[in-house]
């Protein structure tokens, strides 16, 4: 054993040396454009002042983004793995004080929507339960045109300037020399980038939390990420951040479950969304707005235009204005889910952009990407992308033109067509950009107000429950444990220590390392070659809020078991009376009882009634369910005890802190498992009422149990 270990270590060292040879070949090269022009800054777009808008003349940005957008066809470069559904948005609160957008002011409307959820890093064929950010894109088909709110399930992003997006994605994608790992961030190139680009640390700690492995697409929040503007009829501007809050609360699975779910059902999230809608259990989210008066733009210890920062809800409450319901699955996956095109530049009167440099770059990038992926400037004519209002303009022809434009003229102004299509006035509903004053130098940099990289990751971590903190430490340990280079792991440990010293110590212990007292290279290298290296280093950690409870999943909703999957372990002869009482409650509450028997087909209860089996024990796994129920009946339990996988089922459910209920003879299966020593657990129900079981299920997990389950092998 020792010899093999030594040989493996030697092999790894050789691999690292071989990789280092590749690095030496490019060590002294100078960065240029594709035309050979030397570049002194590939981290910041050209702006009208430090906090100004990005300029169209920035040929460096356009070359870098354009090349990135066209790297792969036809699959999306990012967000390739997606699931989607149709629905409706209903406004409950008139927001005309802040905006003239009809979708946010007319409470009589029911606005059709199409929503696409996705993972970011993996390919189209990757599994659903990767540790990743989830895309949350909503297309509103409004009476004033299409509005696309293109966001994620995390309120911030990894980078501050769109110029860095290709670098971020290149680092997290499979390493180009060997095309592995797929749909995973646990590798050297990603952590090399993160440890040298400290603006990533906030979004990164969210990705290390349970938010990155949601229980269901229906149980995750959505965010617009950027700060946008709302414009009312008076032309007054307010800053706004958009939030989607799920009616079912925010819930996740553990990493251990995610690994097993990917093996047992790699389409777990996609199937869950489809099945819920088919069963009439329509997912719902409340739309919330965080509104900041323009006069308060510089009120906070963070910059509103920095996409790596959130506004804590304790500082600016979220106002709920309406509800979105997804009530129809797509008819054809390719025609709708694959061909749908979301663009942040699709807005309506009453909504406008800010100078957030990431948003500014996305306004260019998304259209360019769709041109490459869908092959034509006419992608808006694909049915899923068509607005519900008619489109009239002088744009003609192009690849895959499906309409038949009529008339002699295709220009404006004209007299031959009576001046049509004519221009519209602002008072008639025309879009009008907010008249923001600009008086600045053209400059390629970013504002010093973007330089706080530690305060908000620290706030996020402080706000988590103990069990959430443990999961974050475990995630860092797992991810960094997959890296081969100690200097990268050392940099990351030092940076984690700037967020929280206890967290870094836990991760270091798991890696068998110590936290460095300092690191040799500058903390943040996401600056230009001519920039002052001290000017853009992250500042000292601030504590402008002790904790933000809204950031913890421990503060989510725990009042419903609707759509929860309950495995019912049984065989012929199970007790009909207790089974009926339990399944009646589950059906009433909208939960889904799934019968898991030793075989497929039908199974008989003690009254000789037959029931359809949902899965045989050999075709399913405990991790696919939210809770476990074992009805009584001696014959049934005798059969279950003959198959070891039933005991494994119970052990796994117990280890993952799920609620378990048994009636009568069903208790024998618990006593044959690790549960036998923990029968007083508050989420273990023996001959208890269905209502008591329901309350435990609604809590999602009994996280207190984790203290006794770590040693349980499964």
The set of catalytic residues is: 79, 152
461 to each of 109, 201, 207, 473, 499, how far by Cα in Å? 40, 12, 12, 10, 8
E runs forming strands in 376-456: 442-444
Query: What sections of 589-680 are H helices per DSSP?
Result: 634-640, 644-655, 667-671
Per-residue tokens: 625 = 């369910």
* Dihedral angle computed from the Cα positions of residues 25, 193, 450 and 202, in that order, rounded to the nearest 10 degrees: 180
Q: How many CB atoms lie within 10 A of CB 472?
A: 24
* Alpha carbon distance 606, 635 (integer Å): 9
Q: What is the DSSP letter of 501?
A: H
3-state helix, strand, coil split of the chain in percent (to 5) is: 35, 15, 45
The Cα-based distances of 526 to 165, 451, 478, 602 in angstroms read 12, 11, 26, 62
Residue 320 token pair: 């709920």
List CB contacts of 353: < 8 A, sequence separation 6 or more: 228, 229, 347, 359, 360, 363
CA distances from 352 to 178, 429, 495, 587 (A): 43, 14, 36, 45
- Structure tokens, 206: 């969210």
3-state secondary structure of 704: helix
Residues 218 and 273 sit within 8 Å (Cβ to Cβ): yes
- From first CA to last CA, the distance across the chain in angstroms is 25
């Amino acid at each position: 054993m020792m010899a093999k270990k030594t040989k493996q270590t030697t092999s790894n060292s050789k691999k690292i040396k071989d990789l280092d040879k590749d690095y030496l070949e490019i060590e002294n090269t100078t960065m240029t454009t594709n035309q050979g022009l030397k570049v002194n800054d590939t981290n910041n777009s050209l702006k009208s002042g430090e906090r100004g808008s990005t300029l169209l003349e920035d040929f460096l940005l356009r070359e870098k983004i354009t090349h990135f957008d066209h790297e792969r066809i036809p699959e999306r470069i990012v967000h390739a793995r997606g699931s989607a559904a149709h629905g409706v948005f209903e406004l409950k609160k008139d927001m005309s004080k802040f905006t003239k957008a009809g979708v946010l002011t007319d409470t009589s409307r029911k606005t059709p929507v199409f929503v696409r959820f996705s993972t970011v890093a993996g390919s189209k064929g990757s599994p659903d339960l990767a540790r990743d950010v989830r895309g949350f894109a909503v297309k509103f088909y409004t009476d004033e045109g299409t509005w696309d709110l293109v966001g994620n399930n995390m309120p911030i992003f990894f980078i501050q300037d769109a110029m860095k997006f290709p670098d971020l994605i290149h680092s997290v994608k499979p390493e180009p020399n060997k095309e592995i790992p797929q749909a995973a961030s646990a590798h050297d190139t990603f952590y090399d980038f993160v440890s040298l680009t400290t603006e990533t640390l906030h979004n990164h700690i969210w990705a290390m939390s349970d938010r990155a492995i949601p229980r269901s697409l229906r149980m995750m929040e959505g965010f617009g990420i950027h700060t946008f503007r709302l414009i009312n009829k008076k032309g007054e501007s307010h800053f706004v951040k958009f939030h989607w809050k799920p009616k079912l609360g925010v819930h996740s699975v553990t990493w251990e479950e995610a690994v097993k779910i990917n093996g047992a059902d790699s389409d777990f999230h996609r199937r869950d969304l489809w099945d819920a809608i088919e069963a009439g259990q329509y997912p719902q989210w409340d739309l919330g707005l965080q509104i900041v008066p323009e006069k308060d733009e510089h009120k906070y210890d963070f910059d509103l235009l920095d996409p790596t920062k959130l506004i804590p809800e304790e500082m600016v409450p979220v106002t709920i204005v309406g509800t979105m319901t997804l009530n129809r699955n797509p008819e054809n996956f390719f025609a709708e889910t694959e061909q749908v095109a979301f663009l942040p530049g699709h807005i309506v009167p009453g909504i406008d952009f800010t100078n957030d440099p990431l948003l500014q770059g996305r306004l260019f990038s998304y259209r360019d990407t769709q041109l490459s992926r869908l092959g034509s400037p006419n992608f808006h004519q694909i049915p899923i992308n068509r607005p519900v209002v008619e489109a009239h303009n002088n744009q003609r022809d192009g690849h895959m033109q499906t309409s038949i434009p009529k008339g002699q003229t295709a220009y404006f102004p004209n007299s031959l067509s009576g001046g049509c299509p004519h221009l519209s006035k602002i008072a008639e509903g025309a879009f009008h950009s907010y008249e923001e004053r600009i008086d600045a130098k053209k400059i390629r940099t970013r504002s010093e107000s973007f330089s706080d990289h530690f305060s908000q990751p620290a706030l996020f971590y402080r706000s988590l429950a103990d069990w959430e903190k443990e999961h974050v430490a475990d995630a860092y340990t797992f991810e960094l444990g997959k890296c081969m280079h100690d200097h990268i792991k050392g940099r990351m440990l030092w940076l984690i220590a700037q967020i929280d010293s206890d967290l870094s110590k836990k991760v270091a212990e798991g890696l068998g390392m110590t936290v460095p007292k300092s690191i040799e290279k500058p903390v943040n290298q996401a600056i230009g070659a001519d920039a002052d290296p001290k000017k853009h280093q992250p500042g000292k950690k601030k504590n402008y809020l002790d904790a933000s409870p809204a950031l913890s999943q421990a503060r989510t909703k725990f009042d419903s078991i609707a759509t929860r999957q309950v495995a019912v372990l049984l065989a012929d002869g199970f007790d009909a009376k207790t089974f009926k009482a339990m399944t009646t409650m589950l059906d009433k509450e909208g939960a889904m009882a799934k019968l898991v028997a030793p075989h497929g087909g039908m199974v008989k209860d003690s009254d000789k009634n037959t029931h359809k089996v949902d899965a045989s024990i050999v075709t399913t796994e405990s991790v696919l369910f939210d809770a476990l129920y074992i009805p009584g009946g001696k014959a049934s339990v005798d059969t279950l005890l003959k198959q070891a996988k039933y005991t494994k089922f119970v052990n796994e459910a117990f280890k993952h802190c799920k609620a378990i209920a048994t009636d009568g003879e069903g208790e024998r299966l618990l006593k044959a498992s690790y549960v036998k020593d923990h029968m007083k657990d508050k989420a273990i129900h023996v001959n208890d009422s269905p209502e008591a079981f329901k309350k435990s299920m609604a809590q999602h997990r009994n996280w207190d149990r984790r203290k006794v389950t770590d040693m349980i092998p499964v």
